[in-house]
Chains A and B, each alone.
Chain A
Amino acid sequence: MLFKCLSAGAEIPGRFPGPVHARGKWFTIDIHCHVRSDKAAAMVEGNAAVSRWFLETAASERSRAINRQNGERTRLQGSSPEKRIEDMDRMGIDIQAISPAPRQTYYGADPDLGREAARAINDFIAEICGRYPDRFVGLGTVPFQAPELAVAELERLRKSLGFRGIEIMTHVAGEDLSAERFRKIFARAEELGLLVFMHPDGFTEAGRFVDHYFANVIGNPLDSTVALHHLIFGGVLRDHPNLKLVVAHGGGFLPAYSGRIDHAAAARPDCCEELHRMPSTYLKRVYFDALVYTHHQLDYLVDQYGADHILMGTDYPADMGETDPVGFIESTPGLDDTERKAILGGNAARLLNLEVPATPT
């Protein structure tokens, strides 16, 4: 048997689409779901520096084989809007805020290739949103490795394509997001009121994460954790208080383990050199998706950060995704319906400037 941990006959999680939920009960937006652009993939084909991907390079051969199988199984879901809408209808999702498959951010590309790939992806996303404007909203990508070009692409995707946000990675080909040269990108995203959805792509130093799929199991929440620390302690969140930052997978480890940063900042002068408030003050400005799999952790996040800071997400169509996002939030015992409404769609609508339908259908 493949799954030794599962009891015999138990359902295998992470295979989309999940159970049926009728649309209309709630207004629902999925903040965490990915599309794959075949055209952009073709542009970087064979370019090892660009297609290097820590979730792959750090993984065992067994994990890579399973990744390939998953890639095959989800290919249609990754690329066909029609299949996607069919799944959304089944799962009760009104709108997907579609972002590129994280590896398609291609921050390892040289500036020109980076810009060209980003444009191809953004045009692909815009095309999907244009065809089904009531079902999709776009989170684009910009070439962070080339900040001037990134700012120009930000303008274009906001003004010409009408995007309400972007997806960013948790590091830029190994460079942390607090580097001075990236500031202009954050400044412009803040000015334009764009939502920034931050998604990890595995940890850069993953020598000990080869087995047991740790490249993802640990690597993904870890890289978000490291990025959040740099954004806080490097002063980015201090200087950009209106940044609308949503961090994937419940924000990684830090929101669940936040006492240490305040203690360190108050006990160690080497820790808080660039801050003027307790680090958790900045953490509380950040938004998190609901992809934590357990009701008790979702409850905890709501208690600590407020229901207005949690956004429903699926990670569609990945196998680490939540296939029953509506059921997960409906059945979380500590929440009331106002909170459920906020998490399921109200918060995303507010941050993305989407109108909530008077009578959801």
Chain B
Amino acid sequence: MLFKCLPPGAPIPGRFPGPVHARGKWFTVDIHCHVLIPKAAEMVAGNAAVTRHPREVHANERTREVNRQQAERNRIQSTSVEKRLEDMDRMGIDIQAISPSPNQTYYGADPDLGIATARVVNDNLAEIVGRHPDRFTALGTVPFQAPDLAVAELDRIHKSLGFRGIEIATNVAGEDLSAERFRKIFARVEELGMLIFMHPTGFPEARRFADHYLVNVIGNPLDSTVAVHHLIFGGVLHDHPNLKLVVAHGGGYLPAYSGRIDHAASARPDCCEQIHRMPTEYLKRLYFDTIVFTHHQLEYLVDQYGADHVLMGTDYPADMGEIDPIGFVEGAGPLDDAERRAILGRNAARLLNIEIPAASGR
């Protein structure tokens, strides 16, 4: 048997689409779901520096094999808008805020290739949104490795393509997001009022994560954790208080383990050189998706950060995704319906400037 941990006959999680939920009970927006753009993938095919991906590089052979099977199984879901709509209808998702597959941020590309692939990715996302404007909104990508080009592309996707946000990765080909040269990107995003959805791409130095799929199991929440620390302690959140930053997978480890940063900042002068408030004050400005898999952690996040800071996500169509996002939020006991409504769609609507349909009961 493949899954030794699962009791016999138990359903295998992470295979989309999940159980049926009728649309209409809630207004629902999925903040965390990805589209694969084959045309952009062709532009970098065979370019090892660009396609190098820590989750693959360090994974053992078994994991790479499972990844290949997965990619086969969900290829249509990654690329076909019709299949995607069918799954959304089944799962009760009104709107997907589609972002590129994280591999497709291509921050390792040289500036020219980086802007070229970003444009192709963004144009493809725009095409999907244009065909179904009531079902999709786009989170684009910009070439962080070339900040001036990134700012230009930000302007283009906002003004010409009408995007309300972007996806960013948790490091830029190994460079941390607090580097001075990236400041102009954050500044422009803040000015434009765009949402940033931050998604990890595994931890670059993952030697100890080769087995047991730890490249993803640890690597993904870890890289978000490192990125959030750098954004806080490097002063980025201090200087850009209106940034609307949503961090994938419940924000990684830090929101669940936040006491240490405040202790360190007040016990160690080498820790708080670039901030003027307790680090958790900046952490509390962030938003997190619901992909934490347990009700108790979701409730903890809501208690600590507020229901207005948590957004429903699925990671569609990945196997580490939550296939029953509505059932998950409905089933979280202590939440009241106003909180559920916020988490399921209203927070995303507010941050993305989406008008909520007037239909009753929502």
- Interface residues, chain A, CB within 8 Å of chain B? 2-6, 10, 12-15, 60, 62-63, 66, 171, 176, 204-205, 207-209, 211-214, 216-218, 221-222, 225-226, 229-230, 233-234, 249-250, 252-253, 256-279, 292-294, 296-297, 300, 303-304, 319-320
CA distance A318 to B209 in the complex (A): 30
Pick from A2, A217, A250, A271: contact of B213, CB under 8 Å: A271
Rounded to whole Å, the gap between the CB of B203 and the closest CB of chain A is 8
Q: Are B320 and A212 in contact (CB under 8 A)?
A: no
Does chain A have a CB within 8 A of B131? Answer: no
- Which partner residue on chain A sits nearest B252 by CB separation? A257
**CB-contacts of B1-16 with A (<8 A):** 2-6, 10, 12-15
Q: Taking A260-B221, A270-B213 as contacts, is the C-beta distance between A3 and B269 under 8 angstroms? A: yes
Which of B17-25, B28-36, B83-91, B296-304 forms part of the interface with chain A?
Answer: B296-304
Whether A275 lies near B264 (C-beta < 8 A) is no
CB distance from A130 to the nearest CB of B (A): 34
- 17 of the cross-chain contacts (CB-CB < 8 Å) are A10-B266, A13-B267, A62-B270, A66-B269, A205-B206, A208-B230, A214-B233, A226-B218, A253-B221, A256-B297, A257-B292, A260-B293, A267-B13, A270-B63, A270-B66, A270-B213, A271-B212
How does the 8 Å CB contact mask read for B221-262 relative to A, with 1 for contact and 0 for none? 110011001100110000000000000011011001111111
Of the candidates B171, B205, B264, B270, which one forms a contact with A205 in the assembled complex, judged by CB atoms under 8 Å apart? B205
> A5 to B276, Cβ gap below 8 A?
yes
Q: Are B273 and A4 in contact (CB under 8 A)?
A: yes
**Contacts A263-B13, A270-B213 hold; do A320 and B208 have CB atoms under 8 A apart?**
no
Contacts of B233 in A (CB 8 A): 211-212, 214
Q: Which chain A residue shows the least CB distance to B293?
A: A259
Q: Which B residues are in CB contact (< 8 Å) with A273?
A: 4, 62, 212
B132 at interface (Cβ–Cβ under 8 A)?
no
**Interface presence of B272 (CB below 8 A):** yes
Instruction: Tell me, in angstroms, the Cα distance from A261 to B261 when the chains sit together.
Output: 24
Q: Tell me what chain A mostly uses at the interface: helix, strand, loop, or mixed.
A: loop
Contacts of B71 in A (CB 8 A): none
A312: min CB distance to chain B, Å: 15
Contact of B264 among A62, A216, A277 (CB under 8 A): A216
Residues of B within 8 A of A207 (CB): 205
Set B15, B208, B260, B296: member contacting A300, Cβ < 8 A:
B296
Q: How far is A213 from B319 in the complex, measured between Cα atoms in Å?
A: 35
| Cα–Cα distance between A60 and B300 once the two chains are bound (Å) | 34
In contact, A217 and B261 (Cβ under 8 angstroms): yes
B300 touches A320 (CB 8 A): no
Residue among B3, B217, B249, B257 with max Cβ neighbours from chain A (10 Å): B257
The answer on a CB contact under 8 Å between B211 and A265 is no
Given A10-B266, A62-B270, A267-B319, answer yes or no on A229-B259 (Cβ-Cβ < 8 Å). no
**Bound Cα distance A104, B58 (Å):** 31
Q: In the complex, what residues of A have CB within 8 A of residue B268's CB?
A: 14, 63, 66, 213, 319-320
**What A residues does B3 contact at CB under 8 A?**
265-266, 269, 272
Cα separation A6 to B297 with both chains bound (whole Å): 29
Report the minimum CB–CB distance from B13 to chain A (whole Å). 5
Contacts of A205 in B (CB 8 A): 205-208
Query: Which A residues touch B304, using CB under 8 A?
Result: 296
Contact of A259 among B5, B259, B294 (CB under 8 A): B294
Q: How far apart are the CA atoms of A180 and B276 in the complex, in Å?
A: 48
A260–B224 Cα gap in the complex (Å)?
Answer: 14
Known A249-B260, A267-B13: A276·B4 in contact at CB below 8 Å = yes
A267 to chain B, nearest CB (A): 4
In angstroms, Cα B59 to Cα A264, docked, is 15
Indicate with 1 or 0, residue by residue over B277-292, a CB within 8 angstroms of chain A CB atoms: 1110000000000001
Number of residues on chain B facing chain A (CB within 8 A):
75
- Cα–Cα distance between A279 and B319 once the two chains are bound (Å): 18
B56 at the interface (CB under 8 A from A): no
A252 to B253, CA, bound (A): 9
CA of A205 to CA of B210, assembled, Å = 14
Residues on A with C-beta less than 8 A from B258 are 294, 297
> Of A12, A62, A249, A277, which is within 8 A of B267 by CB?
A12
Within 8 Å by CB of B208, from A5, A218, A226, A303, lies A226
A209 to chain B, nearest CB (A): 8
User: A14: shortest Cβ distance to chain B, in Å?
Assistant: 4
Which 10 A-B residue pairings sit nearest by Cβ, starting from the closest? A259-B293, A293-B259, A205-B205, A267-B14, A14-B267, A259-B294, A294-B259, A256-B256, A253-B253, A233-B212
A10 and B265 alpha carbons, distance in the complex (Å): 13
- Cα(A269)–Cα(B14), bound, Å: 12
Q: Is B275 an interface residue (CB 8 A)?
A: yes
Kindly provide the distance from the CB of B65 to the nearest chain A CB, expressed in whole angstroms. 8
How far is B226's CA from A207's CA once the two chains are assembled, in angstroms?
A: 11
Q: Are A300 and B14 in contact (CB under 8 A)?
A: no
